[in-house]
Each structure stands twice: as C-alpha cells, then as structure tokens.
Amino acid sequence: MSVQPILSVTDLKKTFPDGTRALRGVSIDVMPGEFLVMIGSSGAGKSTFLRCINHLFEPSGGRIVYNGSDISKITGAKLRRLRRELGMIFQGYNLVKRLSTVENVLLGRLGYMSSISGALGLYSKQDRERAVELLIRVGLGEQRFKRADQLSGGQQQRVGIAKAIAQNARLVLADEPIASLDPKASDTVMNYLHEVTREENITCIVNLHQVDYAKRFADRIVGLKDGEITFIGKPEEVTDEVIRDLYGEKGDQIDE
Amino acid sequence: MSDLKIVAQDLYGRSPMRRLVPLWWALGLTALFVASILGMNLDIARIIEGGARLVVMLGQMFPPDFSIFGRIIGPAIETLYVAILGTFLGVIFSLVVGVLAAHNITPHVTLEIALKVFSAFTRAVPALIWALLFIVAVGLGPLPGILALAINSIGMLGKVFAESIEEIDRGQIEAVSATGATPLQIISKAIIPSVTPALVSWSLFRLDINIRYSAVLGVVGAGGIGLELVRSTRMLAFDETLTITILIFVMVWAVEYINNKIRAFIR
C-alpha cells in the first residue's frame, strides 16, 4: 500500500502583474512527515511557491492538491479552514509586536474559533494551557507575558514555531526562517523547528539560503532556479556541481 | 590637470534670479499683507482708540469676580461633557471609517474613496458651522454641540486612523490571516493592537481640540460655558468675563496635562 502525498503540486505557475514569471511550472509531491528543504538563490521563486500553497499569492496556473482535495482555487471559509492547518513561519517573524508572547501563540487558535469570540480574544482555558506548554517547549516559558517586540529575533521565531504547532498545523511552511538570524540563533531555531515538527509528525517545507543547514536537517532537498525545479534528491546527493548550478560560479558564497 | 575655472555660478547656484528666491518671497508676502490692510480700510485712529478702550476694559476685569463660580461651574462641566461625548462618538465612528477606508484592508476601492471624500468634507466644514446646522435640526442646547464635534472629529480622525492602518507592516496582517483568521479577527488581533498608540494619541489630541471648540460652541447656543462668556461681555461685566476665561483656561490646560501623561504612558 503506497502512502498518499500530503501535498501534491502539479505544474504550478505564478506570473506577477508586472510580468515577472516567478514560477514556471513546478511539480512536486510532499510525503507526510517529510522535512523538505528548498534551496535556491534570491528570486528563484522559493517564497512564491510557499505563498501560493496557502494563497497569500493566487497561483496563475497549475494544480495544488492537499490531503486529497484540490485547493488550487479555494476562497472564503474553505480557504480559512485550509489555512488553519497550514502553519507559516516568516523571515521577518511577523508577530503582532504589541501583543504578548503567549497571545501571539494563541493567534494560532483563531481559525478554530467563531469570528466574534476570536476577535474578542476569548480563548479557552485549554488553548491557553496549551499555548503556555508550547512556549515552555521552545524554551520561552519565562517570556510568556513579555511583549513580542521585546524578544530577540531568534526568540520571536521560536514563538512563530509555537504558533504553528498551536494551530495543529499538519503542514508547516517556513519561509527563510533563519535568514535574519545570527549563526547561534539560527542553530537554535532550526533545531526547535526540526525537533518539534518531528515529534508532532508535522510535514515541513522550509526555504533556506544556507546549503549547510539544508544538508543537516533535510530529508529531501529541492533546488529551485528561475522558477523551475532543477534538482530533487537526498542531502548527500547535493554535490558542489548542483550548488554551482543553483547559485552560479560562486558556489557556497550564496549571499546574493 | 585641466584648468578648472570657477565662476560665481559654481559657488552660489544656478542664476542670480534663483539666488534671490528668499527676497522674492519676502516681497510677495509683504505685498499680500499691505493689500489686505488696504482692502479692509483699516483705520489707524480706530486701532489706537480701541487700544485705549482695551485698557479700560482690562482695568474693569480686575479683580475677577469669583462669586459667580457657583453659577458657571454647571455650564463649565456641561462644556466638558459635550467635548467628551463628541469625542467618544467621533472616535467610534472614525474607527469604522478608518478601517473601511484604509487602502490595505478596504473591502472595495469605491468605498475607500467615498469615505475619504466624506471625511474630507466633514473636516472642511468648521465645527461652528456644523453646530449652527445641528441647532436648526435638533434645537438649542448641548445636543447640537455634541453632534457637531462628533462629525467634525470624524473628518480628522477617520483620515488619520486610515493612514495609521495603512502604515502597518504588511507582514503582521499576513501572518494573522495565514492562520485562517476571519477579517474581523484580523482587524481586532493584528490591526487594532498595532495602531493602538496612534489611536489613543490622536483621540486624546482630538479631545483637546474638542474642549476648546466646545467652549466656543456655547456662543452660538450649543450649550456650555460659551454662553456665559457671551452673556458677561454683553452685560459689560468684564470681571465675570475674566473669571470665565480663567476657568476655560484651567479646563483646557488640565485636559492637555492629563493627555500628555497618558500619551507618555502608552507606546
């Protein structure tokens, strides 16, 4: 019996109004529980790919099947129901800066609440307990009543991870989660992201700049170049040649 | 090395005409000033004569008559109430206007434009004129004052609220909508928290403005201390005028002082 992919993308295309063809037909199957890392230079379309999946960008063409149902064109309540199962982690953290750390985690519960009770912030006791638990799990239990903008970048990103888990996300889309962090914070964040999603059996698609991190954590690596997949394989299959192809002659020197 | 010849233009700018730009402004403004005086037939003799009367009036102002305090405290409090209620109503409606008119979250551009035009109109018409209109509509008393301040406030607050929302970092809104939140939840959990300092600060500033307006609105019959002020001048009871003026000053100053404290607290 073969396992069904949790996400199956076929010939995904995205052209922006200004004519930029960010995705030129991307096809990939993501298996449940997989930790998939996408690498590629800036502008290769990694971010656009993730944003098409949860419809922060509307895809221009192609088919996206999540958990057996076509989500290529969903809107409204159906889209919200999809989104609550897709956790997203951003390069810029994107926490609501003036809310407390714990409330930022609780924001992950909004999709499960009625519009009004969510707007009023009437989170259940159970949700609150879970949020605190999750913060403790990412090492931020002590910080839970601090305002989000008082946390360091690495801490904010860990709140992002806790929020995605609070959502009961089945698939986490992490868009350059460590691009703005120093090496030590990057390590911590990647470790937590990997560890927590492994424990909860959550599928993860992570966009990364850094090939070394990709090799360290990925089950499978996808190389994206000019809106097309040019490489799919195991971390050990990522040779210098593959990297040169993705990033140009500079090889590992990948910042631009 | 080529022999670079430095001429006056290189040192002072492009042309002598442009160099004298401040002078043209000075001449232009002076001309405007003179034209305005001539246009009004201002009589210097009258100004001097008026000065003499002013001295007499000032003399009659002192000492201020504090015995009327019991009589004017009621209208003074009414003035405060008018300002507070006007501001409250204004803030509530401005929130709705601001959310619907902010370019990044408006349900439709047509609505955005309509609301922006609406608030431009309500702020272009002065509070005093709104008061006169509402007096015709609902009669004398504090009610027209409240309505006038409310609608005039919408003009200003609706605009600044919308602008504050437009300045929010897009990422925060995106992140909350990516959790599957409804539009109402996004407004309450991403947008309102982000604009709270601006919201509070502008609302308090508006309260400040409204207290001043409210003191004046009484003059046209929209309730409050303004009426007492006019009555005292008509009766030439300038000692009472001074008392009322002091009271207005204290009210305005107190509100400004409290506002500054609150604004410093909320960041």
Of A85, A61, A86, the C-alpha closest to A73 is A61
Judge if B214 and B195 occupy the same domain: yes
CATH (domain of B233): 1.10.3720.10
Q: Does the beta-carbon distance from A111 to B180 stay under 8 Å?
A: yes
Judge if B170 and B255 occupy the same domain: yes
Q: Virtual CA dihedral for B32, B35, B37, B39, nearest 10 degrees?
A: -140
Judge if B168 and B114 occupy the same domain: yes
Other beta carbons within 10 angstroms of residue A225's beta carbon come to 18
Chain A residues touching residue B175 (CB < 8 angstroms) = 88, 90, 94-96, 107
Buried b (16+ CB within 10 A) or exposed e, B4-20: eeeeeeeeeeeeeeeee
**Closest-CA residue in chain B for A54?**
B178
d(CA A222, CA A201): 20
Is the pLDDT score of A103 beyond 90?
yes
Each residue's pLDDT tens digit, A58-85: 999 999 999 989 999 898 999 999 999 9
Indicate the pTM of the whole model: 0.79
Q: How many residues does chain B have?
A: 267
Q: What is the mean pLDDT of residues B93-118?
A: 91
Q: Which two tokens stand for residue A38?
A: 């996408």
Tell me the residue range of the domain where B239 lies: 67-266
Instruction: Determine contact, residues B180/A169, Cβ cutoff 8 Å.
Output: no
Judge if B21 and B138 occupy the same domain: no
Judge if B161 and B81 occupy the same domain: yes
d(CA A54, CA A9): 12
Judge if B7 and B118 occupy the same domain: no
Helix residue ranges per DSSP H, B62-191:
69-101, 109-124, 127-138, 142-166, 170-177, 183-186
Chain B residues touching residue A163 (CB < 8 angstroms) = 179
Judge if B100 and B23 occupy the same domain: no
Chain A residues touching residue B190 (CB < 8 angstroms) = 96
Residue B184's pLDDT is 92
Is the pLDDT score of A256 beyond 50?
no
Judge if B98 and B139 occupy the same domain: yes
Helix axes B238-265, B225-234, angle to 10 degrees: 150
Instruction: Determine contact, residues A7/A53, Cβ cutoff 8 Å.
Output: yes
Where is the domain boundary, B39, B61, B83?
A: B61
Residue A255's pLDDT is 47
More reliable by pLDDT, A184 or B45? A184
Is the pLDDT score of B15 beyond 80?
no
Each residue's pLDDT tens digit, A84-95: 999 999 999 999
> In chain B, how many domains are there?
2
Q: Which helix (H) or strand (E) holds A78?
A: helix A76-83
Chain A residues touching residue B184 (CB < 8 angstroms) = 115-116, 118-119
Instruction: Determine contact, residues A26/A12, Cβ cutoff 8 Å.
Output: yes
Alpha-carbon distance B96 to nearest alpha carbon in chain A (angstroms): 15
Residue A219 is given by DSSP the state S
**What was the ipTM of the complex prediction?**
0.88
Q: Which of B169, B181, B193 sits opposite A99 (nearest CB)?
A: B193
**Closest-CA residue in chain B for A171?**
B179
Q: Does the beta-carbon distance from A94 to B185 stay under 8 Å?
A: no
Each residue's pLDDT tens digit, B171-225: 999 999 999 999 999 999 999 999 998 899 899 999 989 998 888 888 887 777 8
Judge if B155 and B38 occupy the same domain: no
Mean pLDDT of chain B: 86
Residue A251's pLDDT is 45
Q: Which of A88, A98, A120 sits opposite B178 (nearest CB)?
A: A88
**Closest-CA residue in chain B for A83?**
B180
Q: Which two tokens stand for residue B156?
A: 């200003």
Where is the domain boundary, B14, B36, B61?
A: B61
Judge if B46 and B9 occupy the same domain: yes
Mean pLDDT of chain A: 90
Instruction: Give residue A85's identity as a one-letter amino acid code.
Output: E
- Radius of gyration of chain B measured on its C-alpha atoms: 26
Judge if B136 and B118 occupy the same domain: yes
Q: Does the beta-carbon distance from B179 to A163 stay under 8 Å?
A: yes
Instruction: Determine contact, residues A118/B189, Cβ cutoff 8 Å.
Output: yes
Judge if B92 and B200 occupy the same domain: yes
Where is the domain boundary, B17, B35, B61?
A: B61
